Amino acid sequence: MLFALITFTVFCTMEGITWLTHKYVMHGFGWYLHEDHHQPKYQNVFEKNDLFFVIFAVPSSLSIYFGLGNQLFWLAAIGFGILFYGLAYFLVHDVLIHQRFKWFKHTKNRYLLGLRKAHKIHHKNMGKDDSECFGMLFVPFKYFKKPKLT
């Protein structure tokens, strides 16, 4: 039970870490790696921005490896929390939002549509500065409201 609680807490904490990383690293000194992600069309199957998946995978992998290898369940739980967030991020960001894989092309789910809308607002600005909506799974409620018909 404690393992699951730690894993879930780390999963939720990763949203904040991702928000901070996205705003201050990816749109800061890491813009060189993130810039191609803000271009209108993908030039290749992979983009430099995909290296951030590798960067986040390192502490996850090491935590799982050393946690399981040394029976430090709390360390493994941290690694699994990061891993599960990374999987959720991949599904939401690359599959749902950017349609790099055409798995959820016609969703009508209000939550998923709100996530897409918030991310489109983020990509509205193609430059490094003046962007908004840096979160991934938790975005402002205004993006989930149904448009008012006039």
Q: Give the tokens for residue 122.
A: 């983020």
* 41/77 Cα distance (integer angstroms): 37
Domain boundaries, the chain: 2-144
Looking up tokens 């959820």 gives 104
* Cβ–Cβ under 8 Å, residues 48 and 33: yes
Nearest alpha-carbon partner for 104 in 117, 91, 115, 89: 91
* Cβ–Cβ under 8 Å, residues 75 and 66: yes
* 31/52 Cα distance (integer angstroms): 11
For residues 3 and 121, which has the higher predicted lDDT (pLDDT)?
3
pLDDT tens profile 71-112: 999 999 999 999 999 999 888 877 777 777 777 677 777 777
> pLDDT at position 59, please?
95
